[in-house]
Structure formats: structure tokens, C-alpha cells
Structure 1
Amino acid sequence: MQTSSLKREHDNPARGRLALGIVIGLIVGFLALFAILGMTMWLGERSNSIFQASDVQRGTRTAAVELRDALRTAESSQRGYLLTGNEIYLAPYDTAKARALQHLSDLAQRLETGSEPPPYLPRLHQAVAEKFREMDESVALKRSGADTEALSVIRSNRGKALMDEINVYLYGAMLDVDEKSTLSQLEQQDNAAMLRLVSIIATIVIILVVAAVTLNVLRNRREITQARDEVRAINVTLEERVERRTEELARARERAELLLAEVNHRVSNSLQLVAALVTMQAKTVTDEAARGALKETESRIQAISQIHKSLYTSNDVTSVALNDYLSVMLENLGRAMNKDGHSARLTSALDPISLPTDQSISLGVIATELVTNAFKYAYPAGQSGEIRVMLRMLKEGRAELVVQDDGIGVGASSRPGGTGLGSKIVAAMAAGLKTKVEYIDRTPGTAARMTFSTLQPA
């Protein structure tokens, strides 16, 4: 126990520090991981927004370029028809016109969905419409044969001015798209750099946490090893002391058992001597009542003496085997009563039950009194019969002692009530066992019954 206590005293602080270090390390590591995760999620959302904006910007630029190309194609077809008069140029013109109007609608829709639609958008619609009216007018004049008027429309440079104006708007839209695309690319580069920086910092933090936890574990293991070595060294000397102490206790116990056996032997001899003196005294007494009282006293002394004899002849000096003890005591008691002229037969049926010494003495005295009373009062005037003593084990740590005869019986009015010395002794001994003796009229005969606990006191 001392070794375990020392080991716990050394291990508990180290384990506490290790647990605290690991908890702190895990918290820091998780915070670093959460930082990386949060930054990654935010950058992912931001990249998705930039990608969507870039897609819109690419569509806007594509629509502007397609509108410009469609206008140029329509203008080239118009000029080819005006110069040659060949209707074949009008098919590309119509197709280019339809494409230009479609791209203009697409461009306007994309520009209008922005946060701030450009102020030139209405003018762009107007300029494109005027450009197509100018071209449609020249084509119509050519078809009607008014070549001079058609060329005058061309020479007025109205169409060129409109085209230049449209190109300015389209170039402005494309430049704005290009500028936004450049800003988006720069933002993505900044975000990527930020992610790399956060990842590097978090990785360094995690590496430091792992290193700190590893060092803490190693230091804790070194401290535990050192503590165990100290405990082992203490344990070696402790085991030697325990072995010496155990040997001393074993020798002391042997001496105590020998002394206790010797004490029981001397007590038994002394009680036997007292019983012999009482017997000698009884032989000198002429009064039958006094002689009977001395005989009863001798029986009681013999019962107690037999207890001590059982103790010093047994390996266990703390308890008594009741079946062995009562068997010898009843045999001696029956022989003595027969010698005094009582002709009843004494039989017994005893279960193996053990009780502590003090309780065994009380039970032995009670059995002696009950059997003596049965010999004296159940079969008076030399009548013969049987006296049965039964010791039985009951359930739940309970046992019973029964002394039974087939004699004249005991009525309710003559039942022992504590008036005589024997009755007082029986009542006192039974109270010491926390029980009492009950007398049962069997008709014929009487049964004295007592139940008691066989459990050892705590």
C-alpha cells in the first residue's frame, strides 16, 4: 500500500501536467485547423463570386466584339452593294444586321444587370439605330436607281461618324470589362497569397503544438520512469522490512497461540480442580437440597471447563465446534446423572456448527441446565425414558437447540419462570445470546427450544 501511494504521488502531478499540455495543444491545433478551414471556405465563396463576375464580363466583352464585327460586316456588305449594285451583297447585310441587333440586346442586358449601368447605353441604342437607318436609306436609294443620292448619303460621312461613336462606346465597354477582369485576377492572386500565408502560419502552429506535446510526453515519461525507479528502490527495502515484520508477526502469533492454549489448559485444569472440590464437598454434606445444589454447580463448572479443554485441543482458539463440544459434554453429563440414580437415556443429534467462545460457554451452560432439569423432573421416582438433544442449522444464519423428553410434561402453571437459580441462569445466558428459551408441552413430555444467531459479530 505504501508503494502504491508513493507511485500515485509521483504519477498524479506528471499525468496532470501531461493532460493539461495535451488539452492546450489540441485546442490550439483545432483553432489553427478552423482558421485554415474558415479561410478556405471564405476564399472559395469569394472565388466563386469572382468566377461568376468574370463569366458575366467575358460575355459582355464577347457581345461588344460581336456587335462591332456585325456592324462592320453590315457596313462592308452595304458598301459592296452600293459600288457594284449586285444583290448578292444584301444577304450578308441582312444577316449581319440581325446579328448586330441580337448582340446589342445581349450587351444591353448584361450592362443593365451591373450595379451601375453605363450612362452611354441609351445613346448606344440610338446610334446603332441611326446607323442602320442610314445604311437602309442608302440601300433603298440604290435599289430605286438613285445612285447619286445614295452616294451623297455616303459622302455625308454621317455613317462614319456614327460608326466612330459606336466604336468609342464599344471600346469603352471592353476596356471596362478588361479593367474589372484585371482587378478580379489581382484579387484572386491576393486571396491565394493570403491562403498560402494562413496555411503556412497554421502549419507552423500545428508543428509547434505537436512538438510541444511530444516534448511534454517525453518529459512526463522521463519523470514517471524516474519516479518508478525511486519507488522500485523504496519497494526493495520495503519488501525486506515487510518480510521481516511478517516473520516477527508470525512468531508473535505462534507465541500468542501457545500462550493462549496454555492459559486455556490451566483454566480447564483449575475448573476441573474446582469441580473436584465441589464434588468432595457434596459428599460431606448430609442435606439433600444442599447436596443437589452442589451437584448442579459441579455440572456448570464442568460445562465451562469443557469449553476451555476444547479450545486448547483445537487449532482455532477463537471459536468452538458445538457438535464436538456438546457431544463430549453430554456424554459426561449423562454418565454423571446415571451414576446419581437417574435411569433416563440421553441421545443427541448435532449438526456441525461453530460459535465464538463466549457464546459457546453460554450455550453449553443452557444445555447443561435443560438436560439436568429433564433428568430430575421429567422422569421422577426412578422412571425411565429418553432425553433427546438436537442442534440443527436453520436458514439465514440461524440455528436452534432443542432438549426434548417424553416425561410427565410441564403445565402452563408449572413452567419455569425464573424462580429458581437454574431458571435464572438459563434466562441470563439466553439474554446474552439475544434470545430466550421457550417451553412446549408435547403431551406427553416437554420440549425446551431456543433459536440463536450463528453469524460472527462485526
Structure 2
Amino acid sequence: MPISNAAFVRSTLVLLLAGMIALLGIVGMSLWLTGKVQSYFAELVEVRAVRSAAADLLSTIQDAETGQRGFVITGNPVFRGPYDNALKAVAEQQRDLAERAGSRPEYAGRLAEIGRLIDGKLAELAQTVTLVEQGRAADAVAIVEAERGRQIMERLRAELGAIIADADVRLQEGIADMLGASGALRWMTIIGAVAIIGVVGGAALVVAQYTRDVVQARREVETLNATLERRVEERTEELIRANQEVQRFAYIVTHDLRAPLVNIMGFTSELDAALGAIRAYVLADDKTPNADEILEARRAAEEDLPEAIGFIRSSTKKMDSLINAILKISRDGRRELKIERVDLKGLVEAGAGAVAHQVAESGGDIAIAATLPTVISDRLSLEQVFGNLFDNAVKYRAEDRPLRISVTARAGGRGESIVEFTDNGRGISEEDHERIFELFRRSGTQDKPGEGIGLAHVRSLMRNLGGDIGVRSQLGKGTTFVLRLPPDLGKVVRSMQA
């Protein structure tokens, strides 16, 4: 269905609005998801820093404890180096942990206890180292064996381990959240791309359809312009032909109606003469009519008057028949056509059935093609056309051979259907091929009743249906009537009204 300008504008605006909404949605969701990813990443960095500080502090204290125990057990100054280095790093790492965990409530509560435990542990370590330096190694070993330092270390390991374990959980959850946000961002990008591609594709289809309609409309205009002259010529030819038919019809009607009038006028004179003779006899009064007057009055009463009245009656009957024929054609021309789908095969078969017994009596047959077209036309008019053709074929059959009738069809130009109605009857001489379609005109021997209006009526009906009828025939060899029908009478009517 062609796209109108208004529909094209509406479709374009809708697609642009949809594209804008999709783009804004994609940008908004992308910004939101990007913010979430950044937030998750910042959280991961902070938690990882706390974990790292806690793990480093625990490792440093463990290094200090290891160096302390080695120095206490062996008294070797070599073990004093790791202890001293670890001791220097503890304070800095404790400050680093306090800075990183102090802003996080889940860890800040543990810092005071961790600081107290570290102070206790460092004091225990310093006391044992000092005793060894004073040569009191046994006292130092006794302090170590008292396990006070081990208990402090276990509690410190538990506090820092809790921070490390919580940080591990938070790191896993943060990584999962960040992966989820990244996946959502990826799917949002894919969905947005599909939406934008759909909008762009829809816009491209609308533009393509509109462009195709514009090109087609332009081609139709070019075709109309190219065929306009031909159509004007066809309409002009139709008008000329119609005008000629009107003139010929007027001539035929006036000529054929004038003949009975002339006869009536002539026999009226005969009546007047006969009445003169009768008047002389009847109105003789006291005068006795002579023999000649009596004979003349008798002849007028017995011969002239009946003859004149008979001819007048015959002429008026002829005039009445002619007038009725004219009225019939006139009524058919004014009848409103009922346009419907008509199956020509069924219609022709019905017409053939009406004359089948007459054809069979002559030993003949009727052959109808296996396929006849279906047209959109006026059924009643077509029934009258084929009924008249079947009647004529039966009426004017050749007496020396069985009657054969065939009905075939083929496609014509511009989609029209051409139906050929053929019989093997008397045939029509070539000079009468057009004459038979004129009103009150007949061809050949006039041995059959009729007024010569049948084929004129058929041509009038065919032209009312937007078609026409012609004839091919030779005397003694049969006749073929060629009917041309448009595929759709409705289009013809609309074209004539345009």
C-alpha cells in the first residue's frame, strides 16, 4: 500500500522519537552502570589496601617474634637483625593500617584492641631481648615458656585474621558485583545497538518504501502522460463513432417510421375516395342512383374500404412494433448496471441449455470450451447477449446440415477477454457485416419472423459493458461473432466518470 506524505512524516517522527528515547536510555544506563563499576572498583581498592596493611602488619610482627626467639635461644647477634628491622617497620605499618581501616566502621572497632595487643607483644619481645643482653638468658627463656607472648600473638593473629578474612569476603563480593555490572553494561550496549539498528532499519525501510512509491508514482505519471494522447484519440474515436451511430439511428428510425405513415396517408386518400362513392349512394335523397353509382358504392363497401382499413391497421401495427423496439433499447441503455463477478462458463452453459432440445432435433451439438474467463460485469446484460446469439444460431441454421455451435475464449490486449461464438449456419454476406448491427436491418432471405433489432440490441448491451462485438462470416459457411469484454466493468465506469 503506498505511503502518503502525512504517513511518511508521522513514521519518520515516531522513528526519530523512538531512536532518541533509545539513545537517551542507553546513555543513561551506561553512565549509571559505569558509575556502579567505578564504585565497586574503588571499594575493592580500599578493602584490598586494608587487607594488605593487616597482612603486612601480621607478617612483620611474626618476623619480629621469629628473630626474638632465635636471639633468645642462641644468643647469636645474627638473629637480632631481623628483630630490629621488624621492630622499626611495625610502627609505620600500624599507622598505615589505622589510616586505611579507620574510615571503615567494620574495621575501626578492632584497631584499639589490635594496638593494645601489639604494645603488649612488643613489650614482651623487648623484655626477653634485654634479659639476653644482660646475660640472663634463662630468665628470658622462662618468660617465653610462660606462653604469655604466645597467647598475645594468637589473639593478635585472630584480630588481624578476622580483618583479612572479612576483606577476602568483601573482595569476592565486590569482584562479583563488578563483573555483574560489567555484564549488564555489555548487555545494555548490545540491546542498545540492536534498538538503534532496528530504528535505523525501520527508518531506512520507511524511506525506501516512500522513495519506491514516489518513483512508482512518477512512472505512473509518465505513463499517463505518454498514453494521454492515445486515450484522448480513443475517446475522440468513441465520440465520433457514437455520433455516427446516433445519426444513423435517427436516419433509420425516421425512415422506417415514415414508411408506415406514408402508407396510412395513402390509404386515408383511398378511404376518402371510397367514402365519396358511398356518400353519393347513401345521400341520394329523392334522386334514384343510377347503375354506375350503385356499382361504385358496392365496390367501395366490399373492396376499397376493407382493403384500406386492413393496410392502415397493418401500418399502425408495424409502427407500434418499431416504437416498442426503440423503447426496449432505450430502457436497456438507462438500466443501472449491477456489477458483480460473473463466471462466463456457467452463464454460457445456461444459455446453451435453453436451446439444447432444438439443436438436438437437428442432429447437432454445442461445444463449450473447458475454461472460460470470469469477469466483473453485469450478469443480466451478458445473459441477454448470449441468449440472443443462441436464438439467432437456431433461427438461421442451414437446413442441409446439423447445427454445430462452439464457444471459445482467449486473452486479448490490456487484459480483456475475447469470446468467439461460432455456428455453421447460413452465414452473412460481407457487405452486411456492419448492417446486421443496425436497428431494423436484416441480412439474407427474410423467411424468418423478426424486426431486425436483436443484434442491434446485442451491440448496445456490449458497449454498455465497456466492450464491443464484431463478426466474421461467409455465406453458406457459418458465422463467428467476436465479443470483447473488459476484465472489470467497475474500472471502466470509474474511468468514464473521471
TM-score normalized by structure 2? 0.44
TM-score normalized by structure 1? 0.47
